[in-house]
């Protein structure tokens, strides 16, 4: 039986631990300390580190963890990841027999140039590309690239659970409500998420079905989103990539 546990790090990061009460995978360890504490409390044996992209809040804990456990480090071939032993790119498959788990690798550039995602067991570990009701900032790519990467993730099965790396959900919903004000699924999600956060419960994982219903960055072909984006830029936008670029830019400057 596989469990997936969120370890909180920094202000709003989640380091996901995939385990079966014995063996554990550590995903995007930005900080080693909370991982070491939790793993030893739970008496788990780490077997590998999986990394989605090079940002320090996803990789900063790798050197200490490797020093402690001497485990392999999987990550994107095109990025500088400390201690990387298994460089990955689209189409690669990872197998962890200890957990009876396999993951496919997807290239999802945009937030960073070499960003990858891991998909398997109905779970998606997508780092800083797809967030619940939002998406990552475009630091190293362009809007077309990010749009294509998000569409690739959206094409996975609806039941896929989305394990992103930050608790940004409520802020994302506040923005989404402005550009998609009459979306009933979004209104419902806002109250569900507020209740969870009041009880200090993570709002993740989400699901791709929920993201397709509520995430404006996956809904750039919807009339309400096209209308809001067009109003914001002051001209009619008639293709989804332009709509995406407009709302991504809008969100960058949204308080
Ligand atoms: Zn990042």
Same-domain pairing of 17 and 139 = yes
Are 147 and 182 members of one domain? Answer: no
The SS3 assignment for 95 reads strand
Structure tokens at 3: 């469990």
**Which position among 19, 54, 111, 115 bears the catalytic label?**
111
Cβ–Cβ < 8 Å for 104, 219: no
Based on the fold, state whether residues 37 and 137 are members of the same structural domain: yes
Q: Which residues of the chain have pLDDT under 70?
A: 255
Domain boundary among 163, 187, 222: 163
Residues whose CB falls within 8 Å of the CB of residue 143, separated by 6 or more in sequence, listed in order: 241, 244, 245, 248
Do 94 and 197 have their domain in common? no
Tell me: do 95 and 153 sit in the same domain. yes
Together in a domain, 177 and 131: no
pLDDT at 255: 67
Query: Distance from the CA of 198 to the center of ligand 1, in angstroms?
Result: 26
In terms of domains, do 100 and 176 share one?
no
Same domain, 82 and 155: yes
In sequence order, what DSSP letters do the residues of 138-192 get, joined into one string? Answer: -SSS-HHHHHHHHHHHHTS-TT-EEE-SB--HHHHHHHHHHHSTT-HHHHHHHHH
For ligand 1, the distance from its centroid to the CA atom of residue 121, given in whole angstroms, is 24
Binding region for Zn(2+):
53, 55, 57-58, 111, 128, 166
Question: Total structural domains in the chain?
Answer: 2
- Catalytic site includes residue 111: yes
Q: Which of 163, 196, 213 is the last residue of a domain?
A: 163
Q: Is residue 198 located within the same domain as residue 107? A: no
Residues with beta carbon < 5 A to ion ligand 1?
Answer: 55, 128
How is residue 229 written in tokens?
A: 């984006």
Calpha distance 226→236 (Å, rounded): 8
Evaluate the CA torsion angle 66, 71, 74, 79 in order and state its sign.
Answer: positive
Give 11's contacts (C-beta < 8 A, 6+ positions apart).
none
Domain boundary among the residues 108, 132, 163 is at 163
Q: What is the span of the domain harbouring residue 242?
A: 169-252
- What is the predicted pLDDT for the residue at 215? 98
Which residue in the list 19, 53, 54, 119 is annotated as catalytic? 53
Sorted by sequence, the CB contacts under 8 Å of residue 58 that are 6+ apart come out as 13, 28, 29, 30, 51, 52, 127, 128, 165
């Amino acid at each position: 039986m596989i469990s997936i546990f969120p370890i909180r790090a920094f202000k709003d990061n989640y380091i996901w631990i995939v385990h079966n009460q014995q063996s554990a995978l550590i995903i995007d360890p930005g900080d080693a300390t909370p991982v070491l504490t939790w793993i030893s409390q739970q008496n788990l044996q780490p077997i590998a580190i999986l990394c989605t992209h090079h940002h320090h809040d996803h990789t900063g804990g790798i050197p200490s963890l490797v020093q402690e456990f001497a485990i392999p480090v999987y990550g994107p071939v095109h990025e500088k990841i400390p201690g990387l032993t298994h460089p990955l790119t689209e189409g690669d498959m990872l197998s962890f027999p200890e957990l009876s788990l396999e993951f496919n690798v997807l290239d999802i550039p945009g937030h960073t140039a070499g960003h990858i995602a891991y998909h398997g067991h109905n779970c998606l570990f997508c780092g800083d590309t797809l967030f619940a009701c939002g998406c990552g900032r475009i630091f190293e790519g362009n809007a077309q690239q990010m749009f294509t990467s998000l569409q690739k993730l959206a094409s996975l099965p609806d039941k896929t659970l989305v394990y992103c790396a930050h608790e940004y959900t409520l802020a994302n919903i506040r923005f989404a409500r402005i550009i998609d004000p009459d979306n009933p699924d979004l209104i419902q999600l806002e109250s569900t998420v507020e209740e969870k956060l009041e009880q200090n419960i993570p709002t993740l994982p989400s699901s791709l079905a929920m993201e397709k219903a509520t995430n404006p960055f996956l809904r750039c072909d919807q009339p309400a989103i096209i209308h809001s984006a067009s109003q914001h830029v002051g001209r009619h936008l008639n293709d989804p990539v332009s709509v995406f670029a407009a709302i991504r830019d809008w969100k960058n400057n949204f308080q």
